[in-house]
Amino acid sequence: MGIAAIDHVNVRTAEPARAIAFYRDVLGMRFQPFPGHVDGARGGWMLDDGDHAAVHIGSAALAYPSDDAVPWQAGATQGALHHVALACTDRDAIETRLAAQGVGWTAHRIDAVELTQLFVIDPDGILLELNFHEP
């Protein structure tokens, strides 16, 4: 078919520092500034356990190459994205971080496929589905 996987999700936000802190401190992802930048003032990449830049955080003030063709406005929806699902490990550690940061979640279990899902909303209102494949 030609599509191998989702490469990344991009979050444009008025508050990059807040979004970076959530993905770093609550979800345990590692932050890396954009290439050529030394900090996260404009955003950066949130790396998964394999050092893949799975979530890109960008300031709403940044210009993106796609803006000419598809203008973007803060707070405006660009489609019908319902949620982003992330493959996760160590559910106990993530639940501990969620609780410590005062972030609520809803758990759902699908026994037929040995999957536990935690549903969390990030600071910009994006629904995240944290998937744990566990017996």
Listed by start position, the domains of the chain span 9-133
pLDDT at 69: 73
* The pLDDT value given to residue 79: 57
Spatial CA neighbour of 105 closest among 113, 115, 89, 116: 116
Q: Which amino acid is at 79?
A: G
Residue 97's φ and ψ, nearest 5 degrees, are: -65, -40
Which is higher by pLDDT, 104 or 39? 104
CATH fit for domain 9-133, picks 3.10.180.10, 1.20.1630.10, 3.50.50.60, 3.40.50.300:
3.10.180.10
3-state helix, strand and coil shares in percent for the chain, rounded to the nearest 5: 20, 35, 45
**45 band by pLDDT with thresholds 50, 70 and 90:** very high
Alpha carbon distance 47, 50 (integer Å)? 7
One-letter amino acid at 46 equals M
pLDDT at 75 (0 to 100):
64
For 104-111, the CB contacts below 8 A with 24+ separation are 105/130
pLDDT in tens, 4-36: 678 899 888 888 999 999 999 999 999 999 888
pLDDT of 67-113, one tens digit each? 777 776 666 555 557 789 999 999 999 999 999 999 999 999 989 88
CA–CA dist 44, 36 (Å, integer)? 11
Q: Which residue has the tokens 């770093």?
A: 24
- Region class of 20: left (phi > 0), else alpha (psi between -120 and 50), else beta: alpha
- Distance between CA atoms of 97 and 82, rounded to whole angstroms? 24
What is the band of 135 on the pLDDT scale with cuts at 50, 70, 90?
Answer: confident
